[in-house]
Amino acid sequence: MVQYYSSEYDVKCKIDKCKTFPVITDLERGEVLCGGCGLVLLQNIPDLSYENHGYTQEEFMTQTRTGPATSLTMHDQGLSTVIGSDIDSSGNRLSSKTKLTFSRLREWDKRSKSRTTSSLSKAFTILNAMKTKLGIPDNVVEEAAYIYRKAVTARLTRGRTMTSLIAASLYAACRETNTPRTLDDIVEVGNVERRILSRDLRTLIKKLGLSLNQYDTSSFVVKIANNLQLKEKTKRDGLDILKKAQEVGVTSGKHPVALAAASLYIACVLNNEKISQKKFSEAANVSDVTIRSTVSVIRKSLRLPDSN
């Protein structure tokens, strides 16, 4: 018979003859037992002996139990053993003989790694650099690393550069997670040609069976508004204009970034925020001619007043 108690460990058996017996704590099984009759008074006790509440490197090394979490963005997923510097656990330097032994072990450990491990390390270094430049969340980078690993397993790296394939994986991950990053943004930070990046993206979609949805245009409205430091009212009006344009049906077949920039420009005009179409063009990375034509279409469809 098992009785469930609260997390307080000062429990006692309710049998009268057992009150004189001490309570036995079994830390291996996580149970508290009665010393007289053997009744389980408490079970599933959490192990609080090495709780990690440290904020420094020294506290982490002395209190941690499981180490850091695994990640697909590491070439070994953080599971391999790393032979550190020539210092022991006490902080003392190793002797010359021991130092030579560990140097040889470190060299053989490096030689024993496969070419795939070395290429993954280089690819994920490029991925982390693109993540920093674009300000992409960690979950999107994890998804990009997963797509790239699938591409490596399918042997899609032959005849393709590592940079273009990792950039295509990152853009596919952005599309899957609805993270507003355009193909031109990836081209700029990845230093690859747009033609090559588009080709590799089509290859990933075809060979890996990816299903990429269209971007939510409202996410680009928020992104452009934040980059131009527009007022909150202007941002909300831009979202309302875009929603009305979608209800009318004039957004089909239009560039999502151009629609977002045009909606924000109309909202700026209605709220007397003087920002030129040239600044919207630079923030959205779309030509001002495209923005001007999109503004004209939205105004005619929603019957909004002209800026003049």
Residue 112 has a pLDDT of 67
pLDDT band at 6 (very low <50, low <70, confident <90, very high): very low
Pick the residue with more confidence: 1 or 266?
266
When pLDDT is cut at 50, 70 and 90, the band that residue 1 belongs to is: very low
DSSP bridge pairs for 23? 34
163 domain-assigned: yes
Which one, of 151, 275, 268, lies nearest residue 205 by Cα? 151
* Domain final position from 184, 208, 232: 208
Q: Report which of 255, 261, 252, 230 is spatially closest to residue 301, judged by C-alpha positions.
A: 252
Residue 79, amino acid: L
pLDDT band at 51 (very low <50, low <70, confident <90, very high): low
Residue type, 33: L
Last residue of a domain, one of 176, 208, 240: 208
CATH number of the domain encompassing residue 178: 1.10.472.10
Mapped onto helix, strand or coil, the DSSP state of residue 226 is helix
Q: Provide the CB-side half-sphere exposure for 67 (13 A, CA).
A: 7
Where in the sequence is the domain holding 152, given as residue range(s)? 115-208
- Looking at the structure, tell me whether residues 124 and 196 fall in a common domain: yes
Task: Specify the residue for token string 């008074």.
Answer: 41
The per-residue pLDDT of the chain, averaged, comes to 80
In a domain, 297, yes or no: yes
Q: Are residues 243 and 298 both part of a single domain? A: yes
Examine residue 104 and state whether it is found in any structural domain, yes or no: no
Helix, strand, coil content of the chain in percent (nearest 5): 55, 5, 40
Confidence of residue 60 (pLDDT cuts 50, 70, 90): low
Asked whether residue 158 falls in the same domain as residue 182, the answer is yes
Residues 123 and 204 in one domain: yes
- Same domain assignment for residues 53 and 123: no
Does 121 lie in the same domain as 58?
no
Strand extents, DSSP E, 95-194: none
Other beta carbons within 10 Å of 23: 17
**Greatest Cα-to-Cα distance within the chain, rounded to the nearest angstrom:** 96
Does some domain include residue 204? Answer: yes
Q: Is 307 inside a domain boundary? A: no
Task: Please identify, among 165, 180, 208, the residue that sits at the C-terminal boundary of a domain.
Answer: 208
The answer to whether position 105 is within a domain reads no
pLDDT, residue 33, reads 82
Q: Please tell me the total count of domains within the chain.
A: 3
pLDDT in tens, 141-155: 999 999 999 998 898
When pLDDT is averaged across residues 176-192 and rounded to a whole number, the result is 88
CA-angle at 225, arms to 219 and 227, nearest 5°:
105
The one-character DSSP state at 251 is -
Helix (H) or strand (E) holding 223: helix 217-228
pLDDT at residue 284 is higher than 70 = yes
Please check whether residue 276 lies inside any domain of the structure: yes
The percent of residues above 90 in pLDDT, for the chain, comes to: 15
Q: Of the spans 54-63, 102-111, 260-269, which averages the highest pLDDT?
A: 260-269
Backbone angles phi, psi at 43, to 5 degrees: -135, 170
pTM of the entire structure? Answer: 0.63
Give burial (CB, 10 Å; 0-12/13-18/19+) of 75: buried
**pLDDT greater at residue 89 or residue 178:** 178
Identify residue 170 by its one-letter amino acid code. L
Mean of pLDDT values over 235-250: 87
Asked, for residue 281, whether it belongs to a domain, the answer is yes
Q: What is the pLDDT of residue 108?
A: 78
- At position 83, the amino acid (one-letter code) is I
CA pair distance 9, 6, nearest whole angstrom: 8
Q: What is the pLDDT of residue 79?
A: 57
Q: Is the pLDDT of residue 298 over 60?
A: yes
The 10s digit of each residue's pLDDT in 72-125 is 777 666 556 667 677 776 777 878 888 888 888 888 777 766 666 778 888 888
Give the pair of three-digit tokens for residue 179: 């993270």
